[in-house]
Amino acid sequence: MSGDCRSARGGGDLQRSQPLRFEFDGRSYQGLQGDTLASALLANGVHLIGRSFKYHRPRGIMAAGPEDPNALVTIRRDAARSTPNLNATQVELYDGLVAYSQNRWPSLRFDTARINDLLSRFIPSGFYYKTFMWPRKAWHSLYEPRIRAAAGLGVASTEADPDLYAQCYGHCELLIVGAGPAGIAAALTAAASGARVMLCDEQALPGGSLRTGTSARIGGQDAADWLRESVQKLTAAPNVTLLTRTTAFGYLPHNMVALSERLSDHLATPPPGKPRERLWQVCARQVILATGAIERPLVFPGNDRPGVMLAGAARSFLNRYGVLPGARVVVLTAHDDAYQTAIDLKAAGVQIAALADMRTDPAGPHVEAARSAGIAVRTGTTAVGTRGNLRVTAVGLAGLDSNGAVAGAADWVKCDALLMSGGYTPSVHLHSQARGKLRWDEATHAFVPGAAAAGCRSVGACNGLIGAELVRVFEQATAAAADALRECGIHDQPGAIAISKELAVSEDRGASGGWIGALPQPAGAKAGKAFVDWQNDVTAADLKLAVREGFRSIEHIKRYTTTGMATDQGKTSNLNALAIAAQQLGRAIPEVGLTTFRLPYLPVGFGGLAGYARGDFFAPVRKTPMYDWAADRGAVFEPVAMWQRARYFPERGEDMHQAVARECAAVRRSCGLFDASTLGKIEVAGPDAIEFMNRMYVNNWSSLAVGRCRYGILLRDDGFVYDDGVVARLSDDRLHVTTTTGGAPRVLGMMEDYLQTEWPHLKVWLTSTTEQWAVIAVQGPQARAVLEPLVEQADLSAAALPHMAMTRGLVCGVPAMIFRVSFTGELGYEINVPADYGAEVWRAIWASGQAHGMCTYGTEAMHVLRAEKGYIIVGQDTDGTMTPDDAGVSWAVGKNKPEFVGMVSLRKPALQDPRRKQLVGLLTVDPAHVLEEGSQIAAEPGQRPPMRLIGHVTSSYYSSVLGRSIALAVVSAGRSRLGQTLYVPTAHGESTVTVTQPVFYDPKGERLNA
């Protein structure tokens, strides 16, 4: 059948007066406002929607909801807005929608990879594991690219996502997930209490199973009218937030539920600036899950042809979208619910060619109603196969004997749609994500919620009320809402719903039955493929094979066969797969157990998860007060611990190498200006400040005079260097501690930890002052001459302010701390002024320096200058396994100290082993060769792998001042190897090096003390 399959009946979700145009695979169709892409395609008689993942078999729409495993499509608005792997049942139609099928080449109707289906006996489960093992090299060049090309899901746009994604928090007493009859009854109960209530549903319209079609009347009116009035009440209530198009996809600890709200995907032209999605992180005191149940397909040969559909889905398509699944249908069921589908379709004019029930003696109101509607019921009947290519044309029905075995030949019944039902599986996903337990219920053949997480309740079908009378659902839902409110301390619930009146249900028919696992097949027959997992193309035979090959755990069987591992996460397949595996293992279903439910319940886009954290908002950018000045000068910046630091200042087309050479030369010759503001700074104050620092750092601070500085080293308690920096004593009870740029927050955190939890009796206060001070380093022989004209109330002479001293004074009239310190080996000062004055003082010093040939330099030159002097950088020359002795700074460790962090570890023999790697200098025999940082070092030349390696290069630069390359390295027993020749393997061979002291420039420190 093709063309118009729209019925005048049903269509409760439609606005029939609003036609919409849309495109599928380049062909134009008409749909109606309220359609999903799936219903609109079916209304046009299009059943072939996609090709299956592995065998490329033609596939149609099986379900009406997000559980559908087949109908994945790509929706394209423009080049950047092309979203793959959307489920056609979830895509709301809008005018001009453009959709494409996936996983087919060259076209959907003719797909060359269909040959996989004909070769399928050569690609059983575990095929990839068995076939593509050897040769190893072929994985990268041959197997993997081909598997990836053949394994088809859609293709995402490679352009940047132009849409906006919002994120927000929600806070409420009660979150209800699912706005079907159970969720709405719970919400009505809670709304009356005045508590903050959130109710969400993944569909565009609330109502859940009530929209699918029910015979029941509620509160004396049609279910549809009751639904409309209830939704109006909830919408009007100021304390209720009703979110539609909102999927609860993750249940996290402490009742935080993640919701994904789709805001504009259903609009033909989303208004500019409107977010596409909103990610809600709802912190709920109590949660009620009313997530319903998912119909189970039946597992029999040929059950995947287009036109084979779940019976409840067919009823949804009729009653919600006015779509007829076919003109002549066969219904195959093991559950009463499918009878209602047959009755509704017959009333819409569809011919029911057969209603086959696997049960030998079905009875009850549904069966009565079907018979009185004139539908012939074949009891004790199963299906043994189907016929058809791109659409089902016939189904083979066969009788079952009293043992449940197939008896007699198949009766091939012509049909253009086959509607099946194995009953319903409760949607326990969120209950399980919350770490609730599951219990096997023998009566309904279902896993139902057992002990739940605190503050989490399941009601209705997801709690095992499958096919139950609506009144029982209402009782459970209203009671759960009342309980949840009481747990929030809301005992006064005047507006409680009277089940007897407002929710009184009549003409309701409870439904029962169900089947799990594969349907019986004739003995010895060469059966076709009976699919269990449509999306990953897993058949009953695959699962049996996995068990025969020795897999026992359901988790292993899942991974080996890939059942339940597609994007639908086995919503329609898991229980059938479990039953087939259990039967093959000869064990009961609850003994075999379920696989783990993991978030997300449905796929969510990365855009929604990223939210605002993109581009400029991905991470904070920290800029120093001198940033703009440097940017104006054309500085090249590099990110260092979120700071933007000037790396070098190129002039007249210089590359980095040339700029760094010029900057280094200027510092050594006259004077350089450097922005050191990013240096971490912590003020340690209080009567016990010195005692605290004695305990934290390796140094002895008691002997540090006021106005003097000292190089400090901080270890962790494992004895390894954690941070370093210059510490100045500002007064008796106040220290100015500097840290590495990246280390400031973690050093402060570590100090707070020891202060608060180990030595809480010490009277010390710690304050981060990193951003209070702009730090301007003036380094070089002319530094004093540059600064002196700008300084008042301070004496910069060598006698008054020697190396490692500090003083206060005015610089350009601004109160400043002046440190005489050097990270270059030259006469140097670090001027600290309040950050707001940083740029002004910087400009003044720059101006004063012009007469002296001053130059600004960046972090790259700073690295070279300090390496020439052998000053280490923690994190570059140390790697978290270096002791002070390894790093060549054991002189800093205070003698006769009773305690410091790491002191006990330093006593370990392993940390005193003379063979440990120690910091040394390396000079290449070829002075032009600059070693690669990270290169390994060997004692013997010309080794072949595996080589014996004794160390590695930590810093390596070309020193233009020295006219050659220099390197720092850590080498086993390095200090005993001075003068030795070692070998550094390179990409092109080997570089021969000589071990030296790590100080290459002015080893006596005469320039420093000038």
Partner 1 sequence: MLIIPCPYCGPRPELEFSYGGQAHVTRPTAASNPSPAEWNAFQYERANLKGLHAERWRHIHGCARFFNVVRDTTTDEILRSYRSGEK
Residues 6 or more apart whose CB falls under 8 angstroms from that of 34 comprise 11, 13, 14, 15, 18, 93, 321
Q: Does 254 bind partner 1 (CB under 8 A)?
A: yes
Tell me whether residue 56 or residue 285 sits nearer to partner 1 (CB atom).
285
DSSP string, 575-623: HHHHHHHHHHHT--HHHH-PPPP-S-SS---HHHHHTT-SGGGSS--B-
Residue with tokens 């699918």: 212
- What are residue 354's phi and psi, to 5 degrees? -165, 145
Q: Does 913 bind partner 1 (CB under 8 A)?
A: no
Q: Does 760 bind partner 1 (CB under 8 A)?
A: yes
Closest approach of partner 1 to the CB of residue 454, in Å: 6
Residues 6 or more apart whose CB falls under 8 angstroms from that of 890 comprise 883, 884
Distinct helix (H) and strand (E) counts, the chain:
26, 51
Tell me whether residue 441 or residue 717 sits nearer to partner 1 (CB atom).
717
Residue with tokens 């010490």: 762
Q: Does 454 bind partner 1 (CB under 8 A)?
A: yes
Tell me whether residue 493 or residue 881 sits nearer to partner 1 (CB atom).
881
Q: Does 15 bind partner 1 (CB under 8 A)?
A: no
Tell me whether residue 453 or residue 726 sits nearer to partner 1 (CB atom).
453
x/- map, 463-492, partner 1, by CB under 8 A: ------------------------------
Closest approach of partner 1 to the CB of residue 710, in Å: 21
Size of the site for partner 1 (CB under 8 A): 25
Residue with tokens 């007829």: 324
Q: Hey, which residues does 648 pair with through a beta bridge?
A: 636
Whole-angstrom Cα distance, residue 664 to residue 964? 13
Closest approach of partner 1 to the CB of residue 455, in Å: 10
Tell me whether residue 673 or residue 750 sits nearer to partner 1 (CB atom).
750
x/- map, 376-415, partner 1, by CB under 8 A: ----------------------------------------
Whole-angstrom Cα distance, residue 324 to residue 15? 17
Q: Mark the segment that binds partner 1 (CB under 8 A) among 207-215, 246-254, 323-331, 335-343.
A: 246-254
Judged by CB under 8 A, the residue of 28, 596, 757, 850 near partner 1 is 757
Closest approach of partner 1 to the CB of residue 750, in Å: 11
Q: Mark the segment that binds partner 1 (CB under 8 A) among 23-31, 297-305, 608-616, 755-763.
A: 755-763
Tell me whether residue 378 or residue 435 sits nearer to partner 1 (CB atom).
435
Which two tokens mark 277?
Answer: 């999605």
Please name the amino acid found at residue 575: L
Q: Hey, which residues does 406 pair with through a beta bridge?
A: 400
Residue with tokens 């081909």: 146
Q: Does 252 bind partner 1 (CB under 8 A)?
A: yes
Q: Does 892 bind partner 1 (CB under 8 A)?
A: no
Tell me whether residue 279 or residue 313 sits nearer to partner 1 (CB atom).
279
Whole-angstrom Cα distance, residue 773 to residue 30? 68
Which two tokens mark 886?
Answer: 């390894």
Tell me whether residue 23 or residue 718 sits nearer to partner 1 (CB atom).
718
Q: Does 494 bind partner 1 (CB under 8 A)?
A: no
Judged by CB under 8 A, the residue of 4, 651, 753, 795 near partner 1 is 753
Instruction: Return the residues of window 273-332 that contact partner 1 according to CB under 8 A.
Output: 281, 283
Phi-psi region of 813 (alpha: psi -120 to 50; beta: other; left: phi over 0): left
Judged by CB under 8 A, the residue of 253, 494, 615, 620 near partner 1 is 253
The DSSP secondary-structure symbol of 730 reads E
Which two tokens mark 601?
Answer: 């319940």
Query: What is residue 364's three-state secondary structure?
Result: coil
Whole-angstrom Cα distance, residue 244 to residue 151? 34
Q: Does 905 bind partner 1 (CB under 8 A)?
A: yes
Tell me whether residue 369 or residue 892 sits nearer to partner 1 (CB atom).
892
Whole-angstrom Cα distance, residue 936 to residue 951? 6
Whole-angstrom Cα distance, residue 692 to residue 762? 7
Tell me whether residue 272 or residue 760 sits nearer to partner 1 (CB atom).
760
Whole-angstrom Cα distance, residue 814 to residue 809? 8
Q: Does 896 bind partner 1 (CB under 8 A)?
A: no
Instruction: Return the residues of window 262-281 that contact partner 1 according to CB under 8 A.
Output: 281
DSSP string, 392-458: EEEEEEEEE-TTS-EEEEEEEEE-SEEEEE--EEE--HHHHHTT--EEEETTTTEEEE-SPPTTEEE
Q: Does 746 bind partner 1 (CB under 8 A)?
A: no
Q: Mark the segment that binds partner 1 (CB under 8 A) among 216-224, 251-259, 381-389, 685-693.
A: 251-259
Judged by CB under 8 A, the residue of 411, 683, 691, 717 near partner 1 is 717
Q: Does 903 bind partner 1 (CB under 8 A)?
A: yes
Q: Does 934 bind partner 1 (CB under 8 A)?
A: no
Residues in touch with partner 1 (CB under 8 A): 252-254, 256, 281, 283, 435, 453-454, 717-718, 749, 752-753, 756-758, 760, 898-900, 903-905, 908
